[in-house]
């Protein structure tokens, strides 16, 4: 089983749509969880951390289910500028920050 | 404004040559990391560096690779005897040092080995 697994997509959605990304991780001892956004040939940029209670930042909502080892990201009212690859990232917490990345889910928002 | 500055932004090198990639933090941080991303693949952890010592390294980070902070400021990744498969984007990253320990990435150095 892959350490962090995501549907690669692409997800093609119209502007204004709601889209959800899912991610599973294999190490039950993982402690920290993140969603990063990556534009083509650019560095990953932190979108949001994911907490057990779930958290929201504007149009973005992240959820964590530790029992199922499952993380989700919901984007409401999609904008053209949301087009990017969304990376599910897990900190394996081996003492220092060792992030394990999923392969990413590509989102294309069209007019 | 990037959290760290990386140079060069792009380097083309011949197979077998040595390459040094540099990372300059905006402010004084103790925790640094190198990650790489081969085109079309996922981001992979290479090494973490704390207080001028390697704290953890991945299986990828073999004897071909080394890191150091020679002048207390620049943080370098050296790749000896480059191979075609070393072609990738190399990202330097740093910790925020807060309780969330969020990692922020530099803009990357794109290495092409020919």
Q: How far apart are CA B54 and CA B66, in angstroms?
A: 9
- Spatial neighbors of B65 by CB under 8 A, at least 6 apart, are B46, B47, B77, B78, B79, B80
Which chain B residue is nearest to residue A43, measuring alpha carbons?
B107
Q: Which residues on neighbouring strands pair with residue A88, listed in sequence order?
A: A35
Chain A contact present for B100, CB below 8 A: yes
CB contact under 8 A, A96 and B55: yes
pLDDT of B32 reads 86
The answer to whether residue A1 scores a pLDDT higher than 60 is yes
A80: helix, strand or coil: helix
| C-alpha to C-alpha distances, A1 to A4, A24, B58, B68, B71, nearest whole angstrom | 9, 10, 19, 34, 42
Q: What's the token pair of residue B55?
A: 């704290």
* B86 in Cβ contact with B99 (< 8 Å): no
Q: Per residue in A25-81, pLDDT tens?
A: 998 888 889 999 999 999 999 999 998 888 999 999 999 999 999 999 999 999 999
Q: How far apart are CA B42 and CA B63, in angstroms?
A: 22
DSSP B84: G
d(CA A3, nearest CA chain B) in Å: 12
CB contact under 8 A, B107 and A43: yes
B49: helix, strand or coil: strand
B85: helix, strand or coil: helix
Whole-number average pLDDT of chain B: 88
Sign of CA pseudo-dihedral B4, A105, B45, B95:
positive
Q: Given pLDDT bands bounded at 50, 70 and 90, which one contains residue B31?
A: confident
Cβ-count burial of A60 within 10 angstroms (0-12 exposed, 13-18 middle, 19+ buried)? middle
| C-alpha to C-alpha distances, A97 to A26, A31, A49, B49, nearest whole angstrom | 17, 10, 14, 10
d(CA B57, nearest CA chain A) in Å: 9
């Amino acid at each position: 089983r892959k350490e962090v697994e995501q549907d690669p997509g692409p997800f093609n959605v119209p502007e204004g749509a709601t889209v959800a990304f899912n991610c599973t991780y294999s190490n039950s001892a993982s402690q920290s969880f993140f969603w990063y956004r990556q534009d083509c040939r650019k560095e990953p940029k932190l979108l949001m951390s994911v907490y057990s209670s779930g958290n929201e930042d504007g149009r973005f909502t992240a959820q964590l289910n530790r029992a199922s080892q499952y993380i989700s990201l919901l984007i409401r009212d999609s904008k053209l500028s949301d087009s990017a690859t969304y990376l599910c990232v897990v900190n394996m917490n081996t003492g220092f920050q060792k992030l394990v990345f999923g392969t990413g889910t590509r989102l294309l928002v069209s007019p | 404004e990037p959290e760290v500055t990386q140079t060069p932004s792009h380097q083309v090198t011949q197979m077998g040559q040595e390459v040094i990639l540099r990372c300059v933090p905006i402010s004084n941080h103790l925790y640094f990391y190198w990650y790489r991303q081969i085109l079309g693949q996922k981001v992979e952890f290479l090494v973490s560096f704390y207080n001028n010592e390697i704290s953890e390294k991945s299986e990828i980070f073999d004897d071909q690779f080394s890191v150091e902070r020679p002048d207390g400021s620049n943080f370098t990744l050296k790749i000896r005897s480059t191979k075609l498969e070393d072609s990738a984007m190399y990202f330097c990253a740093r910790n925020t040092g807060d309780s969330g320990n969020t990692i922020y990435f530099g803009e990357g150095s794109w290495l092409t080995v020919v």
